[in-house]
Structure 1
Amino acid sequence: MGVNNLSVVLKKKDEIVLENRPVSEPGPHEVLIGIDTVGICGSDVHYWKNGRIGNFIVREPMVLGHESSGTVVRVGSKVTHLKPGDRVAIEPGVPCRMCEFCKSGRYNLCREVKFCATPPVDGSLCQYYTHAADFCFKLPEHVSLEEGALLEPLSVAVHACERARVTAGKTVLVTGAGPIGLCNLLTAKALGATRILVTDISESRLEVAKKLGASHVVCVGGKDAGASAEEIRSSLGAPPDITVECSGAESSVRLAILVTKSGGTVVLVGMGPPEITLPIVDAAIREVDVRGVFRYANCYPTALELVASGRVDVKPLITHRFRLEEAVRAFETARSGEGGAIKVLIQNK
């Protein structure tokens, strides 16, 4: 199809450029999508400023972006559930479909998964993008393409709340009021959690959490874990049944273990340092379950249903919109948090 495909490329650490790349033809089970909206994720910013996340290292130029939606332009010969003109949300990780994890339904743990904008796989922050058709979800007419792009972070929250077994009547602590923490707040509320307390070091983000339905907020900046735990217990009237840790900060992980109710559950969503010091004996003797969370599996349909039904409104998370040509400025805004940035979108319009 030629080379008119403006793409946002991370050339190396600290260097983002716009360049035209070829448009790839869809294979038999793929679709070619005209990208509309891409949200900037913390991982995109991390690759830009650090050149790596753990063992995933940027060794060659890579197209960024994985929170995406768009309109189908062309379909492969074997695709039957989508047609040109369909608006879709793109689930960015495509697994092998054949290993034990894929076959057991936990395909997020597949060792061969190809995930957008995770080295060496190119992302979807471009004008045209080819993707596996079975990982594209058609949007109902009343769900916007912006909301479609936000199904990615919302799916992280759906998976986290499933791993935490959030159900009606539970009391939930969410540590970290960034986009993922706020998505977990919205999801826990939709699942029936009655009291949800959100912590952060930013008062402005806690104000957003209040507007989105948090029953309590606690600013933990400058406080030790003991003081924060006491304030949380006092605010809720009891320890939380469940803590969803979304910051990755060692202090927050420690707080999560110390404050969660005996017999309760802590899920680790935020990605922080590879090794930290934890009060592990406290967790053991109080039987606090500590569970890992990595991306999501089979969560896009649930996330879409939550949005389509009106149970979850992700639109208030959107604070900034930029055109594709303004990508560098968009990334600077996402990194700095300028103007109270929460979710920054880049749009090909």
Structure 2
Amino acid sequence: MSSATDVLTRKPRNIAIETNPNHEINVVETEILEPGPNDCLVHVRATGICGSDVHFWKSGKIGPSIITQGLGLGHESAGIIVKTGSNVERLKIGDRVALECGIPCSKPTCEPCRTGRYNACPEIIFYSSPPVHGTLRRYHVHPAAWLHPLPDSISYEEGALLEPLSVALAGIERSGLRLGDPLVICGAGPIGMVSLLAAHAAGAAPIAITDIDENRLAMAKKLVPRVRVVHIQRDEDAKASAERIKQVLGQEAKLVLECTGVESSIHTGIYASRFGGSVFIIGVGKDFQQIPFVAASFREIDIRFQFRYRETYPKAIMLVSEGLIDLKPLVTHRFSLEQGKDAFEAASNPAAKAVKVQLLDD
């Protein structure tokens, strides 16, 4: 087996995937940076395309994050260390790692960082969020403190999927899901799928999952055979959809995990909830939305939100390595870095029937 550093000789070009204010996807060549004293240079072996990557490409912004120049995409990555900084002792060349891409300031004067809520750090940088380039590239310099070693039992593809799994785990933990809680998951996209896997492992019962795409619902059924699927019609009234969900679930939901951010889906989740239930919104949608206020108010339904995740990677690695969550079936399409444009077309085109598209580099 060749040394991890051999790749720098075999593949000296640092290929990256970028978008820009003109809504283009470009395969570009960038500089290979030297790691700082506390950093590692990682050969990124697998990166998944997130819905936010597609949104930045198509819309040019998410909330206050606006693309004003070329931006490297990607933040769902795993790879192998090929260089280490002078102060790095915990990791070494050849270590396989998952990349956690939200880097807080970690200053002792920062209250969120000091209290462990580092996802709320006001100075946090997030790779692939403007103006910080993402990890969808061959070589990426990353702070060693935010690299998580992977056991041999976890592949690079699974390591890249630890990021969306972290989103799901953060949502389930914050939502307070318990054994035997009747659950509805709105949306069978990548986040909905990993939320299904995590909720199944956590003991939610019964579980229903919704989507407008019957292919994704069929895949959800393969992932978790006991899940109950509800095919949502595009023009169906939210109350009517909710009634069908309750019939399939056999009761009203104690908890709804809303994984789309779509206004009509949020409405459906509210109508499907029991008195005192919760609608936990994980999906990212439009800046401003309306809600059925009286329906939520008169039934004391809690509507809550989530911003990324914190301290989830070690738990995600443990759950996958112990066999409680199987991420492998989620990757439906694979491309090389040079095929970046094709990869984004597949990720954004419903006809491709993609769940998770990944770009791989050996």
> Residues of 2 paired with 1:35 and 1:189: CA distance?
31
Structure 1 match to 2:31: 22
Structure 1 match to 2:4: none
Identity %: 45
Q: Does the alignment pair 1:249 with 2:258? A: no
CA root-mean-square deviation:
1.4
| 1:182-221 mapped onto 2 (5 Å cutoff) | 182-213=193-224, 214-221=226-233
Q: Does the alignment pair 1:271 with 2:284? A: yes
The answer to whether the 8 A contact 1:321-1:345 is kept is yes
Once the two structures are superposed, what CA deviation does each residue of 1:176-214 show, in whole Å capped at 9, x if it has no partner? Answer: 010001110000001111211001111111111111115
> Residues of 1 paired with 2:46 and 2:212: CA distance?
30
Once the two structures are superposed, what CA deviation does each residue of 1:108-158 show, in whole Å capped at 9, x if it has no partner? Answer: 111211101100000011110011111111000111010000000000000
The answer to whether the 8 A contact 1:13-1:47 is kept is no
Match of 1:41 among 50, 67, 73: 50
Once the two structures are superposed, what CA deviation does each residue of 1:306-331 show, in whole Å capped at 9, x if it has no partner? Answer: 11111001111110000110000000
Match of 1:164 among 166, 169, 175: 175
| Residue aligned with 1:307, SS | helix
> Residues of 2 paired with 1:210 and 1:154: CA distance?
18
Please report the TM-score for the alignment, with normalisation by the length of structure 1.
0.97
| Residue aligned with 1:262, SS | strand
> Residues of 2 paired with 1:324 and 1:136: CA distance?
22
Structure 1 match to 2:123: 112
Deviation at residue 11 of structure 1 after TM alignment: 3.4
Question: 5+ unaligned residues in a row in structure 1: which ranges?
Answer: none
Residues 39 and 289 (structure 1 numbering): CA distance in 2 closer, same or farther, change over 3 Å? same
Amino acid at match of 2:62: I
> Residues of 1 paired with 2:282 and 2:112: CA distance?
20
Match of 1:59 among 45, 55, 68: 68
| Residue aligned with 1:261, SS | strand
> Residues of 2 paired with 1:228 and 1:236: CA distance?
12
| Residue aligned with 1:255, SS | helix
| Residue aligned with 2:253, SS | coil
Match of 1:82 among 66, 91, 94: 91
Please report the TM-score for the alignment, with normalisation by the length of structure 2.
0.93
The answer to whether the 8 A contact 2:20-2:68 is kept is no
> Residues of 2 paired with 1:165 and 1:302: CA distance?
16
Deviation at residue 277 of structure 1 after TM alignment: 1.2
The answer to whether the 8 A contact 1:173-1:198 is kept is yes
The answer to whether the 8 A contact 1:24-1:130 is kept is yes
Structure 2 match to 1:262: 275
Question: 5+ unaligned residues in a row in structure 2: which ranges?
Answer: 1-7
- Select between 243-252 and 226-235 the one with higher mean Cα deviation: 226-235
> Residues of 2 paired with 1:337 and 1:316: CA distance?
18
Structure 2 match to 1:7: 16
Deviation at residue 282 of structure 1 after TM alignment: 2.4
